Structure 1
């Protein structure tokens, strides 16, 4: 696969998990190895250098990762700001999806908006509608204010100051 940084890599990793290359193949039609924007040159160009391939342009569907919160990777704006308000979310050990029913959320930076969450692995049978306030206004809910659910940490990689209201649904841990 010429898109991958290491041509000996496979699309399916250990224990049958998909690799980032496979996720990117689904998202953008190219099996690039990274989620940052564009390419990064390491070392001198030519035989002594290495080119790392990322996302070349804005995607139709986005991607958010808990690994970015932990500073293990950088998801670029091409994936954080997709053409459609849909994000594949890598939170802890598996993928799920966040989406909005209107495109306006892509440009909202001040007003609260709704995101719907679906996690097929958890056999979710109830609708989870989150209210996201990008200004970081604190929602008053009961519970441990020191603990932030991983999904909220993923959302905050896109909307840095966001506060999330689970609207009566128990936050997913």
Structure 2
């Protein structure tokens, strides 16, 4: 299957319920398993979010591409979209106002986290919501690639509502 053949086979389907969505995916499971399955997943995420909403969420006034044209790397916007559902280029917690310019960060604790080797150089800030996901699964970003790390040990993460008092009471 060539990339052109793959694109000719893609169909846009709108599912009204989760049951409809599951049936749609399972009826085309072979397509999801082929060599373009990741691309199909990406297209599905982008179309589910809608292009208009993606443009609003990518708060950079320049046209920030989701995939780098020269090297094919996914942008931070794309990574954040896939792990949080929100296509912001920033990894800090909440929103920031820099001299009247509003920067949108991560708004809640994610199920999958993100860590960056660039943070040690102060090139980016990763907030608590991404460093401490709801499940012990992280995407580790470096200058050239992404790596998935995980553990079965749930104690590595804490839920947002785990206050110091709740943590202390759990230990007794």
Tell whether the structures are fold-level matches, with TM greater than 0.5.
Answer: yes
* Residues 29-56 of structure 1 deviation map (CA, whole Å, 9 limit, x = unaligned): 110110000111111xxxxx21111101
- In structure 1, the residue corresponding to 2:147 is in which secondary structure? strand
Q: Which has the higher contact order (CA 8 A, sep 6+)?
A: 1
Match of 1:26? 82
Unaligned runs of 5+ in 2: 1-54, 159-172
Q: Which residue of 1 aligns with 2:24?
A: none
Q: Counterpart in 2 of 1:5?
A: 59
List 4+ stretches of structure 1 deviating above 6 A. none
> C-alpha distance in 2, partners of 1:34/1:79?
11
Alignment correspondent of 1:90: 141
Q: Name the SS of the counterpart of 2:129 in structure 1.
A: helix
Alpha-carbon offset, residue 66 of structure 1? 0.2
Aligned to 1:51: 102
- Structure with bigger strand share is 1
In the alignment, the residues of structure 1 paired with residue 80 and residue 150 of structure 2 have an alpha-carbon distance, to the nearest angstrom, of 18
Matched residues in 1 for 2:103 and 2:69: separation? 22
Q: How does 1:33-112 map to 2 (within 5 A)?
A: 33-43=89-99, 49-107=100-158
Q: Distance in 2 between matches of 1:91 and 1:101?
A: 23
Number of positions where the alignment pairs a residue of Structure 1 with one of Structure 2:
102
CA RMSD after TM alignment? 1.2
SS of residue in 2 equivalent to 1:2 = helix
* TM-score, length-scaled by structure 2: 0.56
Indicate the SS of the match to 1:98.
strand
- In structure 1, list runs of 5 or more residues that go unmatched: 44-48, 108-173
Q: Secondary structure at the match of 1:51?
A: strand
Q: Cα distance, 1:105 vs. partner?
A: 1.9
